[in-house]
């Protein structure tokens, strides 16, 4: 039995003050929920504020990215040690927006995961196809490439996979529960063939998840949670997703 895992990716949203207001409103809404793992990944600037407010709560602190070097002359980058010093225990790596706007390749993603895991940070690895690729029936081929490139020479320990079809991110278009489960089942099968521990790894779905569709998505056997962008920016809507997932 895999414990449902709901993660908020705030992207480039929320100041320190907004982070504080969000967390103060959100924590009472999810108080006592232990059947779902809940994570919030604010911007780097808000990690300190979030860390202080989330201490001793049931919400895990995550970051949205990490660099593949330990320290040095890499202006603007953030190391695993810095994330650990902010009491971050998890990092999102390979989000499609980083691949699209910041030219992140599977090779870079692989190096980042290795650095995060070496430092005992848990990782949410994002993969998913574009609309063009889906329409050309290349979804599985794209997933194969992203999985083998990103997970090269890595075990599944400390890993979560987020399947995020790019055409569903921030567009209001959600994959149907059948489309989501088909891709998740494919990913799990790929992991079974290539790694140890495929049956216990959690696979989140990401792409316009909201309180209205989470129960339907979670009803699928291979959907173990969600990575949430837009709907994680309001305490009541993110709490609605968490409580929906708790029904699984
Ligand atoms: C995301 O960016 O990971 C995401 C799934 O965004 P949204 O929920 O807004 O589609």
* Residue closest to 93 by CA, chosen among 166, 9, 30, 201: 9
Q: Using the 8-state DSSP alphabet, how is residue 68 labeled?
A: S
How many domains does one find in the chain? 1
Query: What pLDDT sits at residue 222?
Result: 97
**CB of residue 225 inside a 6 A radius of ligand 1:** no
What pLDDT is attached to residue 217? 97
Locate the ligand 1 atom nearest the alpha carbon of residue 228 and give its number. Answer: 8
Query: Is 95 annotated as catalytic?
Result: yes
Q: How many CB atoms lie within 10 A of CB 31?
A: 9
Each of the 248 residues of the chain gets a pLDDT tens digit; together they read: 899 999 999 999 999 999 999 999 999 999 999 999 999 999 999 999 999 999 999 999 999 999 999 999 999 999 999 999 999 999 999 999 999 999 999 999 999 999 999 999 999 999 999 999 999 999 999 999 999 999 999 999 999 999 999 999 888 888 899 999 999 999 999 999 999 999 999 999 999 999 999 999 999 999 999 999 999 999 999 999 999 999 98
Ligand 1 contact via 230 beta carbon (within 6 Å):
yes
CA 103 to chain centre: 19
Q: According to the model, what pLDDT value does residue 172 have?
A: 82
> Residue 239 C-alpha to ligand 1 middle, in angstroms?
16
Q: Output the domain CATH number for residue 163.
A: 3.20.20.70
| pLDDT of the residue at 173 | 83
Residue 111's beta-bridge partner residues?
Answer: none
Range of 99's domain? 5-245
Q: Is the CB of 19 under 6 A from ligand 1?
A: no
Active-site residue identified among 70, 95, 107, 157: 95
Q: Which of 104, 129, 133, 164 is catalytic?
A: 164
pTM above 0.95, yes or no: yes
Q: 72 CA to middle of ligand 1, Å? A: 32
């Amino acid at each position: 039995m895999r414990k449902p895992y709901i993660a908020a990716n705030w992207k480039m949203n929320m100041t320190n003050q907004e982070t504080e207001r969000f967390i103060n409103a959100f924590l009472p809404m999810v108080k006592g929920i232990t059947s779902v793992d809940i994570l919030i990944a604010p911007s780097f600037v808000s990690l300190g504020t979030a860390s202080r407010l989330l201490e001793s709560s049931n919400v895990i602190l995550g970051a949205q990215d990490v660099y593949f070097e330990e320290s040095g002359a890499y202006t603007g980058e953030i190391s695993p040690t810095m994330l650990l010093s902010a009491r971050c225990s998890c990092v999102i790596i390979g989000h499609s927006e980083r691949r699209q706007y910041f030219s992140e390749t599977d090779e870079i993603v692989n190096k980042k995961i290795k650095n995060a895991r070496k430092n005992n940070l848990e990782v949410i690895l994002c993969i998913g196809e574009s609309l063009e690729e889906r329409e050309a029936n290349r979804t599985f081929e794209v997933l194969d490439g992203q999985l083998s490139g990103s997970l090269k020479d890595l075990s599944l320990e400390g890993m979560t996979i987020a399947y995020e079809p790019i055409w569903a991110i921030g567009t209001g278009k959600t994959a149907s529960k059948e489309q989501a489960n088909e891709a998740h089942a494919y990913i799990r099968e790929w992991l079974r063939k290539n790694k140890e521990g495929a049956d216990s790894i959690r696979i989140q779905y990401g792409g316009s998840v909201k309180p209205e569709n989470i129960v339907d998505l979670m009803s699928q056997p291979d959907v173990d949670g969600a990575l949430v962008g837009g709907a994680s920016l309001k305490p009541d809507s993110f709490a609605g997703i968490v409580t929906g997932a708790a029904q699984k």
